[in-house]
Structure formats: structure tokens, C-alpha cells
Structure 1
Amino acid sequence: MSQARPARSHSLVIRLLIAQVVPLAIFAFVVLAVGAWTAQRVVANNADRLLAGALQTIRETVSVTDNRVTVNVEPWALALLDGPERDAVFYSVREGDRLVTGYAELPNLPQAQADQPVFADLSVRGVSVRMAQQALFIPGRDTAIRVSVAQSLDSRRASLRELYRSMLLLPGLLVVLAALLVWPALQWGLNSLKRLIDDLTRRPSPSADFAPTNVDLAPREFWPVLNAFNHLLARLETSTSGIQRFAADASHQLRTPLAVVSANLEILAGSTRPWTPQERRLMADSRDAVSGMTRLIGQLLSTARADGARISSSADLGRAARRACQAARERRAFPDGALRLRLPAEPVTVLGAEDLITEQILNLIDNAFHHGAPPVIVHVRTAGSVCVWDHGQGVAEATLPHLTAPFFRANSSQTSGFGLGLAIVHTLAEAQGAQIKLQNRSVERSGLVGQIIFQLGAVRDLTESIVPSLDDRR
């Protein structure tokens, strides 16, 4: 079954641009259309009046001499029709169908009257002309005399073009100016939105910040949207807090039965009953499974704590490293020299929670022993960072960026574990404003290096390379 595609949202700037420019363009088009019609009427009326004036000039020269119709057309009689375009001018005087003078191509118009001229558009000698014609009745003559004057349309067209250019220039400039002014106007109007965006982007990224947004930073029209957004943030905060509490409570509740099962398996393994090799193998597998489950629950609990952590206190980095090494030794039996701790002479105080920093270093140590090879070195530097590296084979360079992803394992078919250790280190580092870096040591020195760079006093340059810390002798 095909799914309906959601409507594609458009940029606010594009919408405002359309809302501003399109109506103005439509208005300009209407103004141009009305103006063009008006200009055409004005030019036509003025030209027709000039044509009628020339007609009256010729009409006044018509007379009857010796029972014959005579016309005296002086050159200045058609001066009214003279223009820059040098239009072609035609005239004729007819008594009935007989041509008295002028051009025979000008026809008689049946509707011509004596009181006012009539006009018609026609073609004379291949030229489009506008003709005016009026009848004249002379006493003693039975047939009406028709006087006609025609003029080509060049001057009319030139006048219309000039008017069109003048009319188009101003509306066109207004539309272009409005389009150019829309962008700075929008930038000015959206300055408050930029302040809102800056406020949201400045929020700490390590953990979800569900604090309500200040609606006063946005334009008044956006207040209903921001109020709805703040309501959504409140519901998300409630939901996220419930999930974090559930994960923590579930992890705590599961630890007790797992501890009981582990203790019972130890008692059974240490009893005097003769166990068969298969039974001992089953008990060993059960102890490993319980140990792995206990480790997974601990990591899930640390993940829940990391997701909700917002750290603003200070901690002793050296003391956290000592506690982590002590906890690692309690978890497993190390041969002498398998875990080495290097501390500076003076205390190193960094921004963070000491128990969470201890958890981070412990996870790096566990990861080094689980996937690398001893000896594992824990080095606290006075610059405010701690490095943990092993002497294993390291990992492929393409795998390094993915090591901090939850449940990611470089080779799931050959390594055990749940892929949460480095993810927890990464999450806790972000919660404390720190940075974690992972890289292979070098070609000459095998092993994986994990470094956590904390904030020491003023915010330090976190782009510092971790290579110099690898120069310590084994």
C-alpha cells in the first residue's frame, strides 16, 4: 500500500518573499493593463481630433463655381497631421461617386453624416491608415459631397510605445525595488529569531536540556509556537526522567538475584561432592554468564547515570585514577606489572564528578584488558588529561570513529562483551565538558590509546595531540 507523502515545507523567507513580491507584481500588471488601455484611448482620441481638424480645413475650401465643385487644398491645410514620424497622408473630395480631387483609393462610407465625421481603419496602397470622412450638402446640388482625410498609423504607434515605456518603467522599478528590499527587511525582522537560535545552540550538548525557551526572544507572532514547544519539552523531560529512573531501578533490582546466583554457584563449586567434568563445565559457563550479566547491568546503570548527568563540580583526577585502578584489581587478579599507574607530583583538579571520572577510567582499563594486552598504563597528566593504553594489536583505523557508539564491537564474532564501555566513557566525557580521543599508538608501539581531556581552570584547547603522552618509557 502506498503511503501519502507529507507536504514539503517551504522556507519562511521564500514564503514572505512570495507574499510580498507576488501581490505587488500582480498589482503592477493590473496597473499596466489599465494604463495601456487608457493610453491607447488617449492617443486614439487625440489623433482622431487632429484628423478631424484637417478634415474641417479641407471641407471649408469646398465651393461651387460655374456649377462645378471646386476645392482649394493649400499645403498648410494638412499641417495638423505633420509629425516626427512623417506619416503618409491621403485626402479626397467626391461628389457622389465622382472624384473631384485627391486619391481615388479612399472609398465612400455609407454612414458618413454632415453633422460630424465618421472614422474607419483601412488600407491604402498597402499602408494601414485611419480615415475620417464627413458629408457636405451645398444648396443647389442634389448629391452630397464627401470629404475624406486618411493618415498612416506610424505616429500613433510611436506615441503608444513612448507611453508604454514611461508607464512600464515606474511599476517595474517598484517591483524590483520591493524584491531587493525584502531580504534586508526579513533579516531585520528575523533578528529576534536569530537570538532565539543562539540561545538554543548555546545550551550544553552533553545531556538533554529541557529548560523552557524564553519566548521574549522571538517575535510576538511566534509565541504560541514557542509555548507549545515548551510544553513538549516538559513532557519529554518527564518521559526521559522516567526512563532513566526505570533503567537505574531495574539495574539495582537485578543485581541482588544475580549476586545470589553467583554465590550459590561458588558454594556448589567449592562443595565436596564429586562433580563430573561436564557438570563442572556447566557450572563454569553459568558463572561466566552471571559475571557477564552483572557487568552488563553495571554498564546499563552507568549509561543511565551518564545520560542524565550535568556536571559543574571539580574533582581530583589523580585520586579518581587511583580508585579506578583499585577497583580494577578487585575485579580480577593481575600479575605484577600488568596494571601501572603514573601520577604527577602535584594534584590535578579538573571539572567533573570524581565518581563518574573513576567510572570512565575503569571502563578504559577494562576495555584495555578485554580487547588489548598487558601491561596497561594509566597516566595522569598535569595538563588535565588521563591516558590509558595497552600493548595489544590495536584496531583498524576505519573502526576508530565507531568505537564510542553503543553496542558497537570491532569484531563481534571473535570478541565478547556488550560494546557499552567506551560509549559510557564518551557520554560521561560530554556530560563533564571533556573530550575523549581514541587512536592506535604507532607502528613501532602497538596498542590502543584512550585519552580523556578535561577542562582545567579556563577552557583549554582541546585540539592538543595525544602523541607526546606516548613517549613515556615502558
Structure 2
Amino acid sequence: MTRAPSKTSHSLVNRLLIAQVVPLTVFAIVLLGVGAWTAHRVVERTSDRLLAGAMQTILQSVSLDDQGVTVDVAPWSLALLDTPERDAVFYGIREGDRMVTGYHELPTLKTANTERPVFANLTVRGVPVRMAQQTVMIPGRTAPVVVSVAQSLDSRRASLHELYGSLLLLPGLLVVLAALLIWPALQWGLNSLRRLVDELAARSSSSTTDFAPAAVTLAPRELTPVLTAFNALLAGLERSTSGMHRFAADASHQLRTPLAVMAANLDLLAASKRPWTRTEQRLLTDSQSAAASMTHLINQLLSTARADTAHSDATADLGRAVRKAYQVFADRHPLTPGALRLRLPLETVEVRGSQDLIVEQLLNLIDNGFRHGAAPVIVHVSNSPEGAAVTVWDHGEGVDYAVLPSLTERFFRSNPNRSTGSGLGLAIVEALSTAQSGQLRLASRGPGKGLAVRLSFSSPDASPST
């Protein structure tokens, strides 16, 4: 039997996944943010130190001769700034307002001092650069010498991108790996819960009502309080259901005796030779009819209580059950010739079920045919490769197609204006069919052609349906 996916289980799995993956994802994002901030500071500090080193190299080449301040910028002076990205490098040396050498686009910063280099971001010839600048005082010269070195930001950006990629790879792999591992872990953890669901689903599809406690060991330990409460609910339902069944059976049994006495007394009065007035005769007839209806209703209530708890895996002869039902009904009700007809095969038809329960089903169907239909009522037994079945149909007015699905509901009557019938006959037949792993089907034969009721049975060698 294929088990339908449980929405509740899916919802639980989704919540567990969210509870595990979302915090891990948030942690990875925070880790990535902190790592990016740290990487940016490291790259900036490292690059600024290289820039300051190149500036110090140039600063050491500043000298003084007869012509004034001179600078000998050797090609290797800017080697510290040589990167695979081939950054643009600018330098400049000023003495006061006089440009000694370099690029005049490099401005003199107001914050420049002789103690340490100062840094600034600016644009030179349309290129964003980072500039280091420091001031030095040369003895014998009144104006300060300002040395500036600037480098484009390509190498810094490349280093940051490389670090960002490394930082993103580890948290990303961590989140993906956790998501991949959490799913099978959850599936493994829910296996026991699935076994419990399967066990309860098998109960719900069974033909009998099972109030046995669910096995607490089948579910995860965290669900033990839930299962304990569920088992307590099952016990309460069992007590309530058993109490209702006992009450219905006991009440019906207690009512049968006084009703039997009442019916017998009414029959004795009706058979007496006392002359009855027309009114007395009508009252006596009405009382006998009411007693008969009450007796029928009590028998139906007893059958209903029996059907609710019935279960049988026995084997029965379907033809023998039909003949016994015919005999019992004929003993209870006087029949005119041909009013009840049997169509039985010559061979024995064995089915899964109890003969007593099948007889009770047939008595309800035959009684239903005479009460709500018209003679002749035909009982036909068929046996085919698809299975054995018995069909009971009458020749009454029939039933509207819209009403057919409601006929098996308890106390439902297709014509409420009619006083006969309790509305329990077909409900009892359906309950007994379920108890014997059978199936009940109703079909209207059309206006004026009556109602056909088909009871299908399982073969004796078939396993009971669950």
C-alpha cells in the first residue's frame, strides 16, 4: 500500500531545516562581514606601509648642493609598488612652492608633517589613487621639502577581491554542507515517526476499530508526552464507545421483554370474541402497528450495536446464507407465492464472512425491499472471476439518484413522510460489509423499477484488507 505524503511531516521537516539552516546562514553572513572588514583593514595597512616605504626611499635620495635641493630617483626606488596589476605610480618633490621633480598634480596636504607620513585618497589625471606624503626640513634651507608618492587602487582591489573570495568560499561551503547533511539526518531521525504514522494509518484503514495504545517506542523520545496524551485520549474514547454500545444493547434488551408482552396482549385482545366498536378496533390496530414498529426499531438498534463491533475472518457458503435468510423472513412474514424469489447458482459459492452476519444483512435488505419497494423482491447470487456477490432488488418506485449517497446514513429516510422504517437497515448492512472486508453498492434501476443493492464479498483465500 502506497503511503500518501504527510503534510504535517513535511511541515515539521521544513521547520527543522529552517531552524538549522537559517541561524547557520546568519552566522555565515556575520562571519563574512567581519572577515571582509578585517581583510579591508589588513589590505589598507599593508598597502599603506608599502607606499610609505617607497616614499622613504625617495626621501633618502634628497640631497643639497650648490644649486639647491636635488633628488636622485632611481628606478628601483618604486620597486615596492610593482604589482601584477601594474598600478599607475606618481611621485613629486616640492621645496616650498617650487616643484623640484615629479608630477605637479600631486597637491600639498595641510596635514603633512615631519613626524610621520599622512595618507589621502584623491584623483590624479582621472585615476583614483592613494597618496602618502611627508615633510622634511633640510639644514640651511628655510622652505620645507615635501615628498609625495601616489599609487592607483587596482592592486588593492585585486587583493580585496581575492580575500573576499576566500572568505566567501568557506562559509558558503559550510552552509551548503550543513544543508546537505541536515536533510538525511532529519530523514533518519523521522524514520521512527514514520513507523508510528504507518501503524496508525493501518488502524484507520482497518475494518475494525482499534483503541489499543500506540507504541511509545516507535516515536522519538521528544514525542513521548504527546503519545502519552494520545493514548489517554484513546482509552477515553474506548470507554465512551463501549459505554454507548453497552447502553444501546442493554436498553434494547430491557425494552424487548415489555414490548413482547404488550404485543402478545394486544394479539390476545384482537383474537378475543368481544365485540369491538369501530373506534376501539382502530385504536387496537394502531397499537399493534406501533408495537410492531417499536419491536422492529429495537431489533435494528441491537443490530446496529452489533455491526459497530462486528469482525469476521470466517468462511461462509453464500447460497446457504441466502436460503436461511429466505426461511427466516418467510417465518416472520406471510408471503404470497412469487413475492420473494431466489436465483442461486448450482455450485457452492464460498466467501469470506460469517454466515450469521450475511443472513442479517440479507434480512435487512429483503425487509427494506418490501417496506420501501414492491414485490417481487429478487435475491440473485453471482460468482465470477471478479468475485462473488449477492444482489437484492425490488420493483418499487425507485430512488432519486441524488439521494443514493445518503441512503446508508443512520436514521436517513428518502421519504420522511412515510412512517414505516427506522432508517437503519442499509447503515447496518454497510457496517457489516466493512466488518467482513466486503463492499456495498446501491443503484437505482430507474423510475418505477426499484432499487438494486449489491453486496460484494472477498474470496476465502484473500488476505483481509487493512
TM tier, shorter chain? 0.7 to 0.9
User: d(CA) in 2 for partners of 1:461 and 1:397?
Assistant: 32
Check if 1:40 corresponds to 2:44.
Answer: no
Match of 1:446 in 2: 449
User: d(CA) in 1 for partners of 2:99 and 2:301?
Assistant: 115
Aligned pairs for 1:31-430 (under 5 A) are 31-66=31-66, 68-203=68-203, 205-381=206-382, 384-413=388-417, 416-430=420-434
Alpha-carbon distance change, 329 to 308 in structure 1, aligned in 2, over 3 angstroms: same
Indicate the SS of the match to 1:11. Answer: helix
- Give 1:344 shift: 4.0
User: d(CA) in 2 for partners of 1:21 and 1:460?
Assistant: 46
Would the aligned equivalents of 1:371 and 1:415 in 2 still touch at CA under 8 Å? Answer: no
**Structure 1 letter corresponding to 2:292:** S
**Structure 2 letter corresponding to 1:453:** S
User: d(CA) in 2 for partners of 1:83 and 1:73?
Assistant: 19
Moved more, 215-224 or 449-458: 215-224
User: d(CA) in 1 for partners of 2:446 and 2:244?
Assistant: 42
Indicate the SS of the match to 2:138. Answer: coil
Post-superposition Cα deviations, 1:65-106, rounded to whole Å, max 9, x if no partner, equal 215112233444334334344434332222234433333443
Match of 2:458 in 1: 455
Match of 1:470 in 2: none
User: d(CA) in 2 for partners of 1:149 and 1:279?
Assistant: 132
Post-superposition Cα deviations, 1:6-54, rounded to whole Å, max 9, x if no partner, equal xx99821112111221122122112211211121112112211221122
User: d(CA) in 2 for partners of 1:413 and 1:271?
Assistant: 34
Indicate the SS of the match to 2:108. Answer: coil
Alpha-carbon distance change, 9 to 280 in structure 1, aligned in 2, over 3 angstroms: farther
- Give 1:60 shift: 1.9
User: d(CA) in 2 for partners of 1:326 and 1:367?
Assistant: 16
Alpha-carbon distance change, 104 to 281 in structure 1, aligned in 2, over 3 angstroms: farther
Post-superposition Cα deviations, 1:202-240, rounded to whole Å, max 9, x if no partner, equal 336223111222333333433343333223222221221
- Give 1:306 shift: 0.9
User: d(CA) in 2 for partners of 1:374 and 1:168?
Assistant: 86
**Structure 2 letter corresponding to 1:13:** V
- Give 1:396 shift: 3.2
User: d(CA) in 1 for partners of 2:393 and 2:371?
Assistant: 12
Indicate the SS of the match to 1:379. Answer: strand
Post-superposition Cα deviations, 1:116-157, rounded to whole Å, max 9, x if no partner, equal 322223344554322111222222223332211122323322
Alpha-carbon distance change, 10 to 193 in structure 1, aligned in 2, over 3 angstroms: closer
Would the aligned equivalents of 2:131 and 2:148 in 1 still touch at CA under 8 Å? Answer: yes
**Structure 1 letter corresponding to 2:230:** F
User: d(CA) in 1 for partners of 2:394 and 2:226?
Assistant: 53
Post-superposition Cα deviations, 1:412-459, rounded to whole Å, max 9, x if no partner, equal 34574232111100001111222222224589x933222222233211
User: d(CA) in 1 for partners of 2:463 and 2:26?
Assistant: 58
Indicate the SS of the match to 1:340. Answer: strand
**Structure 1 letter corresponding to 2:411:** F
Alpha-carbon distance change, 262 to 229 in structure 1, aligned in 2, over 3 angstroms: same
User: d(CA) in 2 for partners of 1:224 and 1:414?
Assistant: 53
Indicate the SS of the match to 1:202. Answer: helix
Alpha-carbon distance change, 414 to 162 in structure 1, aligned in 2, over 3 angstroms: farther
Aligned residues between the structures: 454
User: d(CA) in 1 for partners of 2:279 and 2:98?
Assistant: 139
Indicate the SS of the match to 2:328. Answer: helix
Alpha-carbon distance change, 294 to 267 in structure 1, aligned in 2, over 3 angstroms: same
User: d(CA) in 2 for partners of 1:28 and 1:61?
Assistant: 49
Post-superposition Cα deviations, 1:242-301, rounded to whole Å, max 9, x if no partner, equal 111011111111222333333344344445555444443344333333322222221111
User: d(CA) in 2 for partners of 1:77 and 1:290?
Assistant: 125
User: d(CA) in 2 for partners of 1:20 and 1:190?
Assistant: 16
- Give 1:337 shift: 0.9
Would the aligned equivalents of 2:437 and 2:464 in 1 still touch at CA under 8 Å? Answer: no
Unaligned 5+ residue runs, structure 1?
Answer: 1-7, 463-474
Indicate the SS of the match to 2:212. Answer: coil
**Structure 2 letter corresponding to 1:243:** M
User: d(CA) in 2 for partners of 1:285 and 1:73?
Assistant: 133
- Give 1:347 shift: 4.4
Indicate the SS of the match to 2:122. Answer: strand
User: d(CA) in 1 for partners of 2:57 and 2:248?
Assistant: 108
Would the aligned equivalents of 1:95 and 1:143 in 2 still touch at CA under 8 Å? Answer: yes
User: d(CA) in 2 for partners of 1:274 and 1:415?
Assistant: 29
User: d(CA) in 1 for partners of 2:311 and 2:225?
Assistant: 30
User: d(CA) in 2 for partners of 1:242 and 1:320?
Assistant: 32
**Structure 1 letter corresponding to 2:259:** L
Indicate the SS of the match to 2:250. Answer: helix
User: d(CA) in 1 for partners of 2:278 and 2:165?
Assistant: 105
**Structure 1 letter corresponding to 2:400:** A
User: d(CA) in 2 for partners of 1:184 and 1:396?
Assistant: 55
**Structure 1 letter corresponding to 2:129:** V
Alpha-carbon distance change, 93 to 25 in structure 1, aligned in 2, over 3 angstroms: same
- Tell me which of 412, 415, 440 is aligned to 1:436: 440
User: d(CA) in 1 for partners of 2:154 and 2:289?
Assistant: 105
- Give 1:392 shift: 2.8
Indicate the SS of the match to 1:404. Answer: coil
